[in-house]
Amino acid sequence: MGAGNCGRCRVRYLEGMPSPKMEERRFFSPEELRSGMRLACLHRVSVPCRVSVEFVQAPRIQILTKMRILTDGEPTAREEMSSAEREKAEACQRAAKVGEAAKTEQSPNMGRSMKAERCFPEKVGTAYRIAVDLGTTTIAMQARDVEDGSVLAEWKRMNPQRRYGSDVVSRIQAAGAGKAGMLKACVHETLAEGLRYLSGTCGKKLRTEIFLAGNTVMEHLLAGLPVDELGRYPFSPVTLQEQKVQIGDIQGMESDRYDLTILPGISAFVGADVLAGILAVGMHRRQEICLLIDLGTNGELVLGNRDRLFCTATAAGPAFEGRAGTEGTDMIAVIGELLEAGIVDETGLLAEHWFSAGIDWEQRDLPGRCVHISQEDIRAIQMAKAAIFSGICTLMRVCGIRAEQIERVWLAGGFGYFLNVQKAVQIGLLPFSLAERTRAVGNTSLAGAFLYGTRGGREEAACIRKICTSVNLAEQDDFSEMYLSHLNLQRED
């Protein structure tokens, strides 16, 4: 049985129709429910029935590997670096030159995407290091030249654990229900597939190093560590230290074995993927105050400079991934246009004519492309954007930092890379006062995983962990009130 969260497993009962569940009223109009529309995951077959399968196409997921170079047109702290630090910074710049962003469509089985491999044959055969970004939704790998950080080959897939739930909470629940072994095995198999491809493309090297960054739950499941304590207060991880894991020889199959290093995390909520992001943008070396925002299923935020960093995570849920075949970035753009047209009001309410069935809307900047938006889609975006905005405001209050003191804002991750910042400001996802200082930087987790393996990378990561303070939003007295006050779709200063 499922939880009725995504609304994609739609069927129409032709005979033996069960009574609708409360969760189904979020996805279907009264007319659709009367016609037999249901979510398959919410009903067990107890009487003879006949159904028509009407599954909704899953949204396209953009698996991003690119990271933009931060020094173009931006002042840096290079003047204050020693020659060794300057050499390391130049290596960081080279490592940031990752491959092109790729859009891959998720296949109907929800566990595997279309193939997304890329090879750069002119440098095949050189010594390389493999970086892995283990996300809740996607997995990305790159083999890079150890000397200059250039990309030799890359590989991407959907995270097969999605079949057990779209977020970390559902994965923790699945592990607690006896599926921890399956969660571990499926991601091990997928990683082994990617590593075989990269090593086969670039050549097998005895001393090839593999470094992986992911959130704390993903890393625990990969290492076979229990995650039950991550699902309840006080949310205690088994470890946040660097770990070694061997990938390969799954289920008795003969295959190559790969020694993989898991990057250390910061807290139960802020994992190694965020630490890698800080390392990639050099936030821990900057004098000016910066804000790093990773928009995804878990919205992670880091605020501060080289003296002190404050970080937190807020549950945005799967809304930013999109629904019913529509990308999350498109949904935000369309909701902004519906606001302008008066079809949606500031409370997020669709006009009466479209309230039950939703509206098909042609995007202004993409003529001919029609996006369907339902009342439920709008509510999901409202809750996600309120969580992010309130997280930013809470972190600023805890740090004692005002918006005008923040000199740079970096949007990390695939969603942030393709996000229209002005539309995000229009609906209140990002503060208006920070719009002009906001820049998308791409997959900082993947770039940071590579840098962790460079000379001095571990020492820099240790420095980040030392100056970083994790803030639990659930323990902040004003967060719930702030969250409710920012649900409206409006520009927030």
25-40 in b/e burial notation, b at 16+ Cβ within 10 A? ebbbbeebbeebbbbb
- Please, what is the average pLDDT of the chain? 84
Closest CA to 235 of 264, 267, 262, 213: 267
pLDDT for 77 beyond 50: no
pLDDT for 248 beyond 80: no
Pairwise CA distance, residues 100 & 272, whole Å:
23
Joined together, the tokens standing for residue 218 give: 């993903």
The answer for residues whose C-beta is within 8 angstroms of residue 363's C-beta and 6 or more apart is 330, 333, 334, 337, 369, 371
> Per-residue confidence at 90, pLDDT binned at 50, 70, 90?
very low
Closest CA to 104 of 54, 158, 52, 55: 158
Q: Which segment, 63-67, 103-107, 223-227, is predicted with the most confidence on average?
A: 223-227
Pairwise CA distance, residues 144 & 150, whole Å:
5
Question: What are 32-47's pLDDT values in tens digits?
Answer: 899 999 999 999 888 9
Mean pLDDT of 327-349: 92
Question: What are 171-212's pLDDT values in tens digits?
Answer: 999 999 999 999 999 999 999 999 999 988 887 665 579 999
Pairwise CA distance, residues 171 & 164, whole Å:
6
Question: What are 348-402's pLDDT values in tens digits?
Answer: 999 999 988 889 888 777 777 788 888 988 999 999 999 999 999 999 999 999 9
Relative to beta strand 61-63, strand 438-442 is unpaired
Q: Residue 76 has what pLDDT?
A: 29
Which domains does the chain possess? 10-53 (no CATH), 61-73+82-280 (3.30.420.480), 284-446+470-485 (3.30.420)
Question: What are 132-163's pLDDT values in tens digits?
Answer: 999 998 999 999 998 888 899 999 999 999 98
| Pairs from 296-299 (Cβ < 8 Å, separation ≥ 24) | 296/135, 296/136, 296/137, 296/320, 296/413, 296/414, 296/415, 297/136, 297/137, 297/166, 297/167, 297/168, 297/321, 298/136, 298/167, 298/168, 298/215, 298/269, 299/384, 299/387, 299/388, 299/391
Q: Residue 117 has what pLDDT?
A: 63
Contact 325, 316 (CB under 8 A): no
By three-state DSSP, how is residue 198 classified? helix
Q: Among 112-116, 189-193, 359-363, 466-470, which stretch is predicted with the lowest mean pLDDT?
A: 112-116
Helix (H), strand (E) counts: the chain: 14, 20
Of 102 and 343, the one with more pLDDT = 343
Residues in the chain: 493
Q: Residue 306 has what pLDDT?
A: 96
Indicate the pTM of the whole model: 0.81
Question: Which percentage of the chain shows pLDDT scores above 70?
Answer: 83
